[in-house]
């Protein structure tokens, strides 16, 4: 902190009880600004200006508008020897003014250059304090509501960390005329009084750099604020319901293979519930073209439910193949039997012995057809048993592999994003 600033602030605490004579404030102001020129810069040059910021409250952090709204105090302190009044009234500690006096003296015009909107609070008058110290040190403070931009990156949403910025410059004076820098305690945040429903304030950094414009070089002071998202809402409203939907889709593995409609309804309902839940969450997010953490979760959940439906389709396809094979086998055997039963040689003698022989042959063919039917039914039952064993085996392995795969995905997902 420059020596002039330190000695300029000390008189605020000097007791005036030993002083019995004061110049009238109006007379004192008249004497100070009698030969004062607002257009002339103070000495020395470049004029050193100290800046500090106090964040009073953060009202909102909007993902859709990529900005945050906050109430802040920011102060600029510099020394203008032309305004010193210690030689005129050595007992007066300071002089305090409103924004009207600011228009009469030189000011470095420190302002927020990156805000979308900035409004000086009026309650009822403008919240501006200008304090003048005996050695000419000027303390200028504003209470402002600002809407400033944030560098929104939703890659890790809803475990994301967003960075928002406040940038200060001397709007009227470049590096050749004004040198602005941070005070020792540059940024103060009232963490206990700031309560956001879905964010918590993290690290706060401040730094200075030089910004190059066509008109020259300007010093820029930047406050960088981190906001960590509270993801408890999304755990209750999205992660837990989707886990339940995926788990319900696994119940189809325990349903009988013959109840295909029930298994299909169970899987499709789980998929529809998942899609509906995802749509509700995405309404509050801007349409971005990159993949977010919540997208990976939803795509994986959809993949698990789709895989359960695919497993059902494979078993249903095997059952359909059995039905087609059974119909084909039944048709073939029936056709051969009818051909053998209805065959008659016209040259056969119609003697009584031939008729007796033919009746015996018909009886034999009927017995043989019954045995063929029994053999055909045994073949069909064997095929059905094979398909049933295949479906039961697939269901048994799926009932074990699907939960294990989903558990492994959860371990990788939460470990990666919570330790990032």
List, run by run, the mean pLDDT of 10-residue segments along the chain (420 residues).
44 44 80 89 93 94 92 96 89 88 93 94 91 95 96 92 96 94 93 88 94 94 95 92 91 78 82 83 83 94 92 79 63 58 52 53 53 58 60 84 96 94
CA nearest neighbour of 90 among 40, 157, 160, 16: 16
Please check whether residue 170 is in contact with residue 178, taking contact to mean a CB–CB distance below 8 angstroms: yes
Give the tens place of pLDDT for each residue, 285-321: 888 889 999 999 999 999 999 999 898 888 877 777 7
Give the tens place of pLDDT for each residue, 73-113: 999 999 999 999 988 888 888 899 988 899 999 999 999 99
Domains in the chain, CATH or no CATH each? 32-229 (2.70.170.10), 233-333+377-419 (1.20.58.390)
Residue 331: the pLDDT is 63
Residue 203: the pLDDT is 93
Residue 367: the pLDDT is 54
Enter the pTM of the model: 0.76
Residue 293: the pLDDT is 94
Give Rg (Cα) of the chain. Answer: 43
Please check whether residue 140 is in contact with residue 9, taking contact to mean a CB–CB distance below 8 angstroms: no
Question: What's the distance, CA 179 to chain centroid?
Answer: 39
Please check whether residue 227 is in contact with residue 202, taking contact to mean a CB–CB distance below 8 angstroms: yes
Residue 12: the pLDDT is 38
Report the C-alpha gap between 18 and 32 in whole angstroms. Answer: 24
Residue 392: the pLDDT is 78
Strands 178-189 and 47-62: parallel
Residue 261: the pLDDT is 80
Measuring CA to CA, how many Å separate 368 from each of 280, 361, 363, 365?
68, 10, 9, 5
């Amino acid at each position: 902190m420059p020596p002039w600033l330190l000695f300029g602030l000390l008189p605020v605490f000097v007791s005036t009880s030993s002083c019995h004579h004061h110049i009238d404030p109006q007379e004192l102001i008249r004497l100070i600004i009698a030969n004062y020129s607002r257009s002339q810069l103070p000495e020395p040059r470049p004029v050193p200006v100290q800046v500090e910021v106090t964040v009073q409250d953060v009202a909102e952090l909007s993902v859709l508008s990529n900005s945050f709204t906050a109430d802040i105090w920011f102060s600029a302190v510099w020394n203008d020897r032309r305004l010193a009044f210690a030689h005129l009234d050595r007992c007066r500690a300071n002089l305090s003014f409103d924004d009207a006096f600011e228009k009469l003296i030189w000011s470095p015009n420190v302002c927020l250059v990156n805000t979308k909107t900035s409004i000086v609070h009026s309650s009822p008058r403008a919240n501006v304090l200008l304090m003048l110290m005996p050695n000419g040190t000027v303390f200028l403070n504003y209470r402002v509501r600002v809407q400033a931009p944030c560098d929104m990156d939703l890659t890790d949403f809803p475990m994301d960390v967003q960075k928002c910025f406040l940038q200060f410059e001397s709007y009227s004076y470049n590096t050749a005329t004004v040198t602005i820098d941070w005070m020792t305690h540059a940024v103060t945040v009232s963490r206990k009084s700031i309560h956001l429903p879905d964010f918590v304030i993290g690290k706060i950094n401040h730094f200075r750099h030089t910004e190059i414009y066509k008109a020259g070089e300007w010093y820029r002071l930047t406050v960088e604020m981190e906001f960590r998202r509270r993801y408890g809402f999304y755990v209750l409203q999205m992660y837990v319901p989707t886990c339940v939907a995926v788990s319900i889709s696994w119940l189809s593995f325990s349903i009988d293979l013959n109840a295909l409609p029930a298994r299909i309804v169970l899987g499709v309902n789980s998929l529809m519930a998942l899609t509906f839940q995802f749509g509700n969450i995405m309404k509050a997010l801007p349409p971005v073209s990159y993949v977010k953490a919540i997208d990976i979760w939803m795509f994986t959940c959809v993949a698990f439910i789709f895989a359960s439906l695919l497993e059902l389709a494979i078993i249903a396809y095997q059952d359909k193949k059995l039905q087609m094979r059974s119909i084909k086998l039944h048709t073939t055997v029936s056709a051969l039997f009818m051909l053998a039963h209805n065959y008659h040689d016209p040259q056969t003698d119609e003697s009584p012995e031939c008729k007796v022989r033919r009746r015996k042959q018909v009886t034999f063919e009927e017995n043989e057809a019954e045995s063929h039917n029994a053999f055909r039914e045994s073949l069909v039952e064997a095929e059905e048993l094979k398909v049933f064993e295949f479906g039961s085996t697939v269901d048994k392995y799926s009932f074990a592999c699907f939960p294990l795969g989903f558990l492994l995905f959860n371990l990788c997902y939460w470990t990666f994003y919570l330790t990032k």
